[in-house]
Amino acid sequence: MELVAGCYEQVLFGFAVRPEPAAGDDHEQKWTPVADFTHHAHTASLSAVAVNSRFVVTGSKDETIHIYDMKKKVDHGALVHHNGTITCLKFYGNRHLISGAEDGVICVWDAKKWECLKSIKAHKGHVTFLSIHPSGKLALSVGTDKTLRTWNLVEGRSAFIKNIKQNAHIVEWSPRGEKYVVVMLNKIDIYQLDTASVSGTITNEKRISSVTFLSESVLAVAGDEEVVRFFDCDSLMCLCEFKAHDNRIKDMFSFEIPEHHVIVTASSDGFVKMWKLKQNKKVPPSLLCEVKTNARLTCLGVWLDRVTDTKESLPPAAEPSVSKEESKIKKEAGNIVQEEERQSKANTKKCGLTDDSNKPTKGNSLVSTKKRKMVEMLEKKKKKKKI
Q: Residue 102, SS3?
A: coil
Which pLDDT value is given to residue 244? 97
What pTM did the predictor assign?
0.82
Spatial separation of the C-alpha atoms in residues 82 and 101, rounded to whole Å: 7
209 within 8 A of 224, measured Cβ to Cβ: yes
Bridge partners of 104?
A: none
CA torsion through residues 350, 351, 353, 357, sign: positive
| Adjacent-strand bridge partners of 32 | 18
Q: Give residue 193's region: left, alpha or beta (phi > 0; psi -120 to 50).
A: alpha
pLDDT value, residue 257: 87
- Report the b/e string of 157-181 with b at 16+ CB within 10 A: bbbbbbebeebbbbbbbbeebebbb
User: How do beta strands 348-349 and 249-257 pair?
Assistant: unpaired
DSSP string, 225-273: SSEEEEEETTT--EEEEEE--SS-EEEEEEEEETTEEEEEEEETTSEEE
The pLDDT assigned to 384 comes to 58
CA 326 to chain centroid, in Å, comes to 22
Query: CA of 3: how far to CAs of 38, 175, 300, 318, 370, in Å?
Result: 12, 21, 8, 38, 27
Residues 355, 375: Cα–Cα separation, whole Å: 19
> What is the Cα–Cα distance from 6 to 266, expressed in whole angstroms?
10
Question: Which residue type is seen at 271?
Answer: F
Phi-psi region of 191 (alpha: psi -120 to 50; beta: other; left: phi over 0): beta
> What pLDDT sits at residue 275?
96
**Nearest CA among 205, 188, 157 for reference residue 342:** 157
Q: For the chain of 387 residues, list the mean pLDDT of each consecutive stretch of 10.
A: 96 92 65 94 96 96 95 92 95 93 94 93 94 94 95 88 94 96 97 90 96 97 96 96 96 91 96 95 95 96 70 52 52 36 38 31 59 58 56
**CA–CA distance, 254 with 130 (Å, rounded to integer):** 17
Give CA separation, 317 vs 157, 285, 364, in Å.
11, 43, 21
The pLDDT value recorded for residue 161 is 92
